[in-house]
Structure 1
Amino acid sequence: MTIQFPIMSLDYFHPTPAKQFITLSKNPRVTSKEINSLFHQLKPLQPDDLIGEWDGHILITDHPFEKVLEELNWFGNTFDTTDDVAPLIVGRNGERTCYEDWGRASVS
């Protein structure tokens, strides 16, 4: 009799920092220390990797800014180019809208 075991990636036993961060972000409450520790293990991105629309997710850490983002109905960010970034996208009338009160940004 031959027993076959499924081939599992080493990632199954020791997930990458990115996968660990995603898992951590799904917890209802996390500490800033947990997030920061894992965040600093993530690989850096190049500015051009950010181009596009990004959906946001508020991590519940009791930071005072969480309430501000929630009140603004924060959706995420939009990177049209590295020199034209809408750092705060909010939901208004069912659509993604740039929160112009905070202006635009650039990434380097």
Structure 2
Amino acid sequence: MSLSKLDVLIAHHCETLKEMMNELTKLYRQGSSSGLPDAHTMGVLHKIKGSSGTIGFMNVNAAAASLEALLQASAANGWERDAYRCEIEKHLMSLENLVREIRPEQSSLFGRKI
């Protein structure tokens, strides 16, 4: 059975998500001089959130949204990085694990006819 064009796109997006996740992890670990994630780091996270939701990976979308909200809340509250570090690390690791194990069949759009 051959894959539909949509299924091929979803499979390609799995690899793209892995690349974006590697970039996000690298950027976050490097950090900025202020301790706050910079606009580029937040942009990569936002792109992971949006693209995963668009292509049907709702668990990745939810994990990215949760991490994004936590980073925004920590910045809004004066960014006491140590106070948020453990929670941020847990969310980041959860997102990393989801993306590392991602398969096209996990998309809610996989196998659909368009």
TM-score (norm. length: structure 2): 0.30
Greater C-alpha radius of gyration:
1
Judging by fraction of residues, say which structure has more strand: 1
Normalized against structure 1, the TM-score is what?
0.32
Q: Whose helix proportion is higher, 1 or 2?
A: 2
